[in-house]
């Protein structure tokens, strides 16, 4: 299938930009899905994709997901995403990310980037050397730094909402939660859960991370292969997507699925299957919106307290999703889409397609950059 066919298949994207600098080894794709509510914001993922088509499909799916995430979160942002094709362990360097930053800058604020899988605050600092249209930059530059604690706090709020909805409990004490993936978000989520006196079991493909987290927090561990089959109250996927698929769904022994990974359902029909199984699914882009909320606050003029307070809204947003699911007699994955689409339709009518910024950037941080 050709590139244009793939783009047509995976959503009505406003713009897809292929970024290539041969001398730097840069191969990247920026996808802007929808700017009806505001400029497209979404992180830059660096991954060793097997093919360019695989990278294109990933960025198209992720950028569309960001549109829905921002809309469902009540933010005045559109959806975008970027991917860089390469090994994040061996191919990251200043020149590569500064070159990428120039492509971001050429979009004049229609797309605002941030860190994602395979990138860190350090790489965003390099991007910031070439463009003001980047968030998650070091605190020394007026940014918010690593957004993962805020993503994790939003997931904690999502777990609380889900436990309230499914189990009727106001406390997480004694609730059994399985966390799959111990990257930055998974690590901080475990930290929050332990403080709530949750019974936590963890896994990761990196056994050193598992040993470290187990030693630090005293949590149970399991192998990556057996984790989804552990009997628990909440299964919390915090690694890569498509974890709920034809092979895994019948092994699931959780009452709730609520985690930070993007695109947890391999296909939408798996959301319907979870519903038929009596498993409550907390849609991923509603649950993991805390990081996006954090960088949105950064655009306004950053306050860590305000960012943390904003992530509490994940609880209310999920309750809205659960209410729509009951109202319309549909799965929660469909209800989340309806929540987002209704807001895009209603609020989007008040705005024109975002064309970037012809005047000064819209925050003190960006103004400082341009002095």
Residues labelled catalytic: 81
Q: Is-contact 97 19, C-beta < 8 A? A: no
Distance CA 205, CA 196 (A): 26
Q: Is-contact 72 286, C-beta < 8 A? A: yes
Please, is 345 exposed, middle or buried when counting C-beta atoms within 10 Å of its C-beta (0-12, 13-18, 19+)? exposed
Place of tokens 């987290």: 213
Task: List, in order, residues 6 or more apart from 164 with CB less than 8 Å away.
Answer: 170, 319
The torsion angles phi and psi of 172, rounded to 5 degrees, stand at: -95, 0
Distance CA 134, CA 115 (A): 9
**What is the total residue count of the chain?**
371
Distance CA 205, CA 237 (A): 13
Please, is 259 exposed, middle or buried when counting C-beta atoms within 10 Å of its C-beta (0-12, 13-18, 19+)? buried
The token pair that represents 261 in the structure block:
């990974």
Distance CA 165, CA 187 (A): 25
Alpha carbon 249 to chain centroid distance?
22
Task: List, in order, residues 6 or more apart from 119 with CB less than 8 Å away.
Answer: 43, 44, 45, 46, 84, 88, 92
Distance CA 75, CA 93 (A): 33
């Amino acid at each position: 299938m050709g590139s244009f066919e793939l783009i047509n298949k995976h959503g009505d994207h406003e713009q897809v930009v292929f970024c290539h600098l041969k001398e730097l080894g840069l191969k990247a794709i920026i996808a802007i899905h929808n700017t009806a509510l505001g400029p497209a914001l979404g992180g830059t993922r660096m991954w060793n994709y097997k093919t360019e088509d695989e990278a294109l499909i990933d960025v198209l799916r992720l950028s569309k997901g960001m549109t829905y995430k921002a809309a469902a979160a009540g933010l005045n942002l559109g959806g975008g995403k970027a991917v860089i094709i390469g090994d994040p362990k061996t191919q990251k360097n200043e020149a590569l990310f500064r070159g990428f930053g120039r492509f971001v800058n050429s979009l004049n604020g229609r797309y605002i980037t941030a860190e994602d899988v395979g990138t860190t605050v350090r790489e965003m600092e390099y991007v910031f050397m070439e463009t003001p249209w980047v968030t998650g930059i070091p605190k020394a530059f007026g940014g918010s730094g690593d957004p993962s604690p805020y993503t994790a706090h939003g997931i904690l709020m999502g777990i609380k909402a889900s436990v309230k909805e499914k189990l009727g409990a106001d406390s997480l004490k004694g609730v059994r939660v399985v966390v799959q993936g111990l990257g930055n978000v998974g690590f901080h989520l475990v930290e929050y859960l332990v403080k709530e006196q949750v019974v936590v079991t963890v896994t990761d493909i990196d056994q050193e991370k598992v040993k470290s987290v187990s030693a630090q927090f005293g949590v149970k561990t399991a192998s990556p292969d057996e984790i989804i089959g552990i009997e628990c109250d909440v299964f919390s996927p915090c690694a890569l997507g498509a974890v709920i698929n034809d092979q895994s769904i019948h092994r699931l022994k959780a009452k709730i699925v609520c985690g930070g990974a993007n695109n947890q359902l391999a296909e939408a029909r798996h959301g319907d299957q979870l519903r038929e199984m009596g498993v409550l699914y907390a849609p991923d882009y509603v649950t993991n919106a805390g990081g996006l909320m954090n960088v949105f606050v950064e655009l306004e003029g950053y306050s860590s307290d305000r960012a943390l307070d904003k992530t509490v809204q994940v609880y209310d947003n999920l309750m809205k999703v659960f209410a729509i699911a009951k109202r319309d007699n549909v799965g929660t994955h469909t209800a989340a889409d309806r929540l987002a689409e209704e807001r895009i339709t209603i609020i989007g009518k008040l705005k024109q397609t975002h064309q970037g910024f012809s005047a000064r950037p819209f925050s003190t941080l960006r103004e400082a950059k341009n002095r």
